[in-house]
Structure 1
Amino acid sequence: MKTSWRSASLVVSAVAVLALTTACGQETTPPASSQNVGATAAAGGYGSAGTGLGTDADSGTAGAGAQGAGTGTQATAAGELSVSTNAELGKVLTDSAGLTLYRFDKDTAEPPKTNCDGDCATAWPPVPADDASAGAGVDESQLGEVTRADGTKQLTIGGWPAYRFAKDVNAGDTKGQGVGGTWYALAPDGKKAKAASDLPGLSTRKDPELGEIVVDKNGMTVYRFMKDEAWPEPVSNCTGACLEKWPVVEPVANNDTKGVQKKGLMSFTRSDGAKQQTVNCWPIYTFAGDKAPGDTNGQGVGGTWYAVAPDGKPIGAPEKE
C-alpha cells in the first residue's frame, strides 16, 4: 500500500387495509407500525446469526470448520477494490474476487483500531493492507492501514478496519450483514452499506432517462399496467402467471412514503384476496426482470407496462386518442 494513503474521517410496515366503500380518490392514511429488521445477535458479537460458521452459542467462538475457512481467506490479498450494487444494501465494497468487505462496530476509525482477534479473526479474517488498490468507484484517499496486535497491517476504509466473512464463499455473498448487530457490509466511503429497511416504503429517485420515478422499499422501480383500472375503485388485471413477472407492491402506510402524491395513495383487496398498494388509485408492481436498484427493464414491456411518476401517471405511455 502506498504510504501516502491516509485514513479518512467518518463521516411494511404492517398496514391496516382500508375497505373501499367510497369512490377511489379519497385520501386515506393507514396507521404506520415499526419494523424490526436485523440479524439475531450471537454471543461475543461476532458469531453467526443462524447462517454462520458453527458458532458456539455459549462461548461465541468459531468452530473448527470456520477456522479452516478463516485461515485460507485471511492471507488472501485484497487486490483491486471495486464497488458492486446489492439489491438490498445498495453500493457495497468488494475485493478483487468480488467478496464483500465488512466493518465491526466494536472497532474505531479515529484513530483506526481493531478489536477483532483470536476466534473473532478466524470467523472474520482481516483484509491485508498489502497490494490493496482503488478500482473504479473507490476513492484512493479512503484507503489506509492499521497495525494489528500481531504486527500485521490491515486495510482500513475511511478509517474502519476491513474484514471478510469466512462464510461468504461466492462473489456477491453478504451472509455477514447484521451478524451480532455489530457487523455490516462496507460502503465505498467506509460507512455502513445502506440497508433496504432504511428506505421508505415508497419514495422517488431521479432516473437519467425517465426522470422522477417511484421506487419501493428496496429501491426497485415501480410500474403500472395499462390494462388495470383505477375508478371507481382499483382493479388489477394482472393475475395468475402475470404475477410471477410482475409482483404486486404490498400495502404501505402514507407516512412511510417520501415524494409520492398522497391523494389516492391507498391499498385495496385484489380478486385473489391479496392486498396491493396504489398510487393515485392505480395498482402498482415491481418487475422480476429488474435485478438491482436503478434497473428499469420493465419500462415499455408489451406496450402496457410503464414506470410510475410521483403523481401516479405512467411515464412514457402513449397518449390515449
Structure 2
Amino acid sequence: MKISTLSLSVLAGLVLTAAPALAQDAAMVEVAESEQYGQYLTDSEGRALYLFTADTQGQDGTEPQVSCTGECLDAWPPYYTQGQPQAGNMADASLLGTVDHEGQMMVTYNGWPLYYFVRDEGAGDTNGQHVESFGGEWYLVSPEGERVEE
C-alpha cells in the first residue's frame, strides 16, 4: 500500500492538533502540601480544591448530590472538566469521577464534588479551609479523599 507524503503530513497534523486539545480539556487533580494542613488536592495550577459537607458524597453506587446553588456557587465555583479528569502528582486516579451539574461535568474525588474558593488568589492559598457557610462546612480534600482536619 502506497501512502503519499501529503497524507502522512495531514495525519501527523491531526494527531498533533488533537493531542493538546485532549490534554487541555481534561481537568487535572494533583496534591500539594502545606505546613499547616499537610497534603491536600489542587488543580494543575496549584489552586486548592474543597469539599462541602452539605453535599452528598457519592458512594456504593449512589450519585453525588450538589447542594451548593445560587450565591453559594459565586463564592465556591465548581471545578469543571471537559473530559475525564486526570490524576497528576500523587492523586489517586481510582478516586476521580464526575457528576452532572447544570449541564456540565463537575469533578469528584472519592465521591465528593470539588470546588474552588473565590478568596483564594493563587497557588498555595487555603483560605476556604474549615469555613462555615451556606448550610455546611468547607474543607480541603486529602489525597485519600477525606476532609483535611486542622
Higher Cα radius of gyration: 1
2:35 equivalent in structure 1 = 87
Whole-Å Cα distance in 2 between the matches of residues 113 and 189 of structure 1? 20
Query: Which TM-score applies when normalising by structure 1?
Result: 0.35
Q: Is the Cα–Cα contact under 8 Å of residues 78 and 129 in structure 1 kept in the other structure?
A: yes
Q: Which runs of 5+ in 2 are unaligned?
A: 1-23
TM-score (structure 2 length as normaliser): 0.73
Say if 1:99 and 1:173, in contact at 8 Å, map to a contact too.
Answer: yes
When you count helix as a share of all residues, which structure comes out higher? 2
CA shift, 1:188, in A, is 1.6
Is the CA contact (8 Å cut-off) linking 2:27 and 2:80 kept in structure 1?
A: no
Q: Which residue of 1 aligns with 2:92?
A: 139
Instruction: Please name the residue that 2:143 is paired with.
Output: 188
Q: Map of 1:152-163 to 2, 5 A cutoff?
A: 152-163=104-115
The separation in 2 between residues aligned to 1:191 and 1:127, in whole angstroms, is: 17
Q: In structure 1, what is the Cα distance between the partners aligned to 2:104 and 2:126?
A: 26
The Cα of 1:153 is off from its aligned counterpart by: 1.4
In structure 1, how many angstroms separate the alpha carbons of the residues matched to 2:37 and 2:28? Answer: 21
Task: List structure 1 runs of 4+ shifted beyond 2 angstroms.
Answer: 76-80, 129-132
Call closer, same or farther: CA 1:77–1:166 in 2, change over 3 Å: farther
Q: C-alpha offsets along residues 216-248 of structure 1, whole Å, 9 cap, x if unaligned?
A: xxxxxxxxxxxxxxxxxxxxxxxxxxxxxxxxx
SS at match of 1:114: coil
2-structure distance, mates of 1:78, 1:179: 28
How far off its partner does 1:185 sit? 0.5
Amino acid at match of 2:81: A
Alignment pair present for 1:175 and 2:127: yes
Whole-angstrom CA distance in 1 between matches of 2:108 and 2:54:
14
C-alpha RMSD of matched pairs (Å): 1.8
- Aligned equivalents of 1:161 and 1:81: distance in 2? 13
Cα offsets for 1:230-268 (capped at 9, x unmatched): xxxxxxxxxxxxxxxxxxxxxxxxxxxxxxxxxxxxxxx
Q: Secondary structure at the match of 2:120?
A: coil
Corresponding pairs, count: 119
The alpha-carbon deviation at position 129 of structure 1 amounts to: 3.0
User: Are the equivalent residues in 1 in contact too, given 2:27–2:81 (CA < 8 A)?
Assistant: no
Distance in 2 separating the partners of 1:185 and 1:128: 17
1:102 pairs with 2:55:
no
Alignment partner of 1:182: what SS?
strand
Q: Return the structure number with greater strand share.
A: 2
Alpha carbons of structure 1 residues 117 and 77: separation in structure 2 relative to 1, 3 Å? farther
**SS of residue paired to 2:94:** helix
Question: What is the DSSP-based 3-state SS (H/G/I as helix, E as strand, rest coil) of the residue aligned with 1:92?
Answer: strand
Q: Name the CA distance, whole Å, in 1 between partners of 2:25 and 2:137.
A: 24
Contact 2:29 2:41 survives alignment (8 Å)? yes
Higher RCO structure (Cα 8 Å, ≥6 apart): 2
CA distance in 1, matches of 2:127, 2:47: 11
Letter in 2 for 1:158: N
Q: Structure 1 residue 194: deviation in Å?
A: 3.1
Contact map agreement 1:107 1:114 (CA 8 A) in 2: yes
Which residue of structure 2 lines up, in the alignment, with residue 268 of structure 1?
none
CA distance, structure 2, for counterparts of residue 81 and residue 152 of structure 1: 17
